[in-house]
Amino acid sequence: MIRAVKGTRDLLPPDTSVWNAVERVARDLFRAYHYGEIRTPILEETQLFARGVGQETDIVSKEMYTFEDRDGSSLTLRPENTAGVMRAYIEHRLDQRPGVQKLFYIGPMFRRERPQKGRYRQFFQIGAEAIGSDSPFVDAEVIEMVVEMLCRAGLSGFTLLINSVGDANCRPAYVEKLREALKPVAPQLCGDCQRRADTNPLRVLDCKVPEDQAIINELPTIVENLCEPCGAHFAAVRSFLDDRGIGYEVRPRLVRGLDYYMRTTFEVAHGNLGAQNAVLGGGRYDGLAEAIGSPVAAPGIGFSIGEDRLAMTVDRAAEQELDVFIAPLGDAALRHAGALARELRRAGTSVEVAANAKLKRAMELANKLGARYALILGDDEIAAGEYTLKQMETGEQHRVARGEILQRIGQKN
């Protein structure tokens, strides 16, 4: 028997109704904040991620699905989408359009990491990028949108974590300071961190190995080593969040796992997801455009939500609901039921028709499917122009005319 590839899965009803509800919330909110949808290819040139995300990151060095095409070029299934969005921004000269370019995406990403709760090798992200401004006001607005989206999706009990990772002016000196601090303790860290301690010390701060945390917590923080502009920028972001009444915790060692981040970084953590408890993450990436070959600067900030993990935590009330189950009695009633179902569906009602079931079996099926109402119709009902409408929860039955059905069940549109 052929099964789904390890680390992938099939999304089935009723779970997909939860995903659809989450995506509706996201699309409605993106519209409110004036974001337009962008759909980039799943395949990109490997160099886009090597140069943009960072050669020393776990994503590029260990997790990407990369292969050689027939023409000898190296292609990669996208492990994230910020680099792809920025590539599209540069390629299509979106900098020539007026204002900040606000773009959102919903789609699959691919990383060959160890499958765990809420993490898969094909996973889905809801993300957004605001490109063309370095204002801390934009940072705060993006974070505000993230918090609002999670609240509207039904997530509660989450924590917003923020930090600044500096810029090209202050970060190099901090990295050297961090490298020196790591020298005496690196042998006590995990194998990955021993390698990172020299090649990319910032990645040590992103380590999730529990045994390493006590050592990492004693390392110098970049917040204490920010230059004046970066310090002022971070203070402004916090002020704008305070103005909006958005609670947060400053995590001085929050660096995120991608090299393109600078200044503002943030995560949202939720306790129901175990040790790897981040629902989403994001930050500012003012140098990304130049890293992938843009002749002009394109400051930006964005985020991505792990839709797989978010769908695990939101209220299951969003699951698919069946409004009416029609139980026709006989062939003539079945033909009548088809036309009636079409009429109800056009009015926004969800309908299921029992095509070949006796009344007892039809009622059992209506109950198993969680139908709110069952509509029974036979020759007598068709002749009289009235149907038997049963409310499944209470068992109450009423005779209703065709034109009264929507009013009785509570028309949704």
Kindly report, residue by residue over 27-40, the tens digit of the pLDDT: 999 999 999 999 99
Radius of gyration of the chain (CA): 27
313 touches 246 (CB < 8 A): no
What DSSP state is assigned to residue 94?
Answer: G
pLDDT score recorded for residue 201:
82
CA angle 166, 170, 176 (to 5 degrees): 110
Close Cβ partners of 153 (under 8 Å, ≥ 6 residues apart): 21, 22, 25, 26, 310, 314
Close Cβ partners of 136 (under 8 Å, ≥ 6 residues apart): 233, 234, 236, 237, 240, 264
262 touches 284 (CB < 8 A): yes
Tens of pLDDT, residue by residue over 301-359, are: 999 998 888 887 775 544 567 899 998 888 888 888 888 889 889 888 889 898 877 88
In whole angstroms, what is the distance from residue 42 CA to residue 65 CA? 11
60-80: average pLDDT = 88
129 DSSP β-pair partners: 103, 302
The structure's pTM equals 0.81
3-state secondary structure of 401: strand
As a whole number, the mean pLDDT across the chain is: 86
Q: Which domains does the chain have, with CATH numbers?
A: 15-170+222-316 (3.30.930.10), 321-409 (3.40.50.800)
Q: Is the pLDDT of residue 413 over 50?
A: no
Q: Is the pLDDT of residue 115 over 70?
A: no
In whole angstroms, what is the distance from residue 302 CA to residue 107 CA? 16
The whole-angstrom distance between residue 30's C-alpha and the CA centroid of its chain comes to 13
Q: Residue 54: which of 259, 201, 194 has the closest Cα?
A: 259
In whole angstroms, what is the distance from residue 231 CA to residue 223 CA? 8
CB atoms inside a 10 Å sphere around CB 88:
18
**Which tokens belong to 17?**
């109704």
Tens of pLDDT, residue by residue over 202-256, are: 778 877 788 878 888 888 888 888 999 999 999 999 999 999 999 999 988 887 6
Q: Is the pLDDT of residue 52 over 80?
A: no
376 DSSP β-pair partners: 327, 388
**Which tokens belong to 343?**
């009429």
Q: Tokens 């929860």 correspond to what residue?
A: 393
User: What's the residue count for the chain?
Assistant: 413
pLDDT score recorded for residue 411:
52
Q: Exposure string (b/e) for 104-140, b if CB count within 10 Å is 16 or more? A: bbbeebbbbeeeeebbbbbbbbbbbbbbbbbbbebbb
CA distances from 321 to 14, 60, 106 (A): 9, 42, 24
pLDDT score recorded for residue 85:
95
pLDDT score recorded for residue 117:
65
258-279: average pLDDT = 75
In whole angstroms, what is the distance from residue 79 CA to residue 76 CA? 8
Query: Please, what is the end-to-end C-alpha distance for the chain in angstroms?
Result: 45
pLDDT score recorded for residue 278:
77
- Residue 169 corresponds to which amino acid? N
pLDDT score recorded for residue 214:
83
Which of 128-132, 198-202, 364-368 has the largest mean confidence? Answer: 128-132
Q: Is the pLDDT of residue 369 over 50?
A: yes
Q: Is the pLDDT of residue 274 over 70?
A: no
In whole angstroms, what is the distance from residue 122 CA to residue 225 CA? 38
Range of weakest confidence among 110-114, 189-193, 284-288, 368-372: 189-193
Close Cβ partners of 41 (under 8 Å, ≥ 6 residues apart): 78, 84
Q: At what angle do helices 136-153 and 228-243 cross, to 10 degrees?
A: 40
pLDDT score recorded for residue 32:
93
Q: Quick check: bond before 184 cis, omega within 30?
A: no
Q: Tokens 């026709």 correspond to what residue?
A: 328
pLDDT score recorded for residue 5:
87
Range of weakest confidence among 131-140, 261-270, 307-316: 307-316
Q: Residue 131: which of 104, 102, 97 has the closest Cα?
A: 102
- Residue 288 corresponds to which amino acid? L
Provide DSSP, 25-93: HHHHHHHHTT-EE----SEEEHHHHHHHT-TTSHIIIII-EEEE-TTS-EEEE-S-SHHHHHHHHHHTT
pLDDT score recorded for residue 57:
67
93-113: average pLDDT = 92
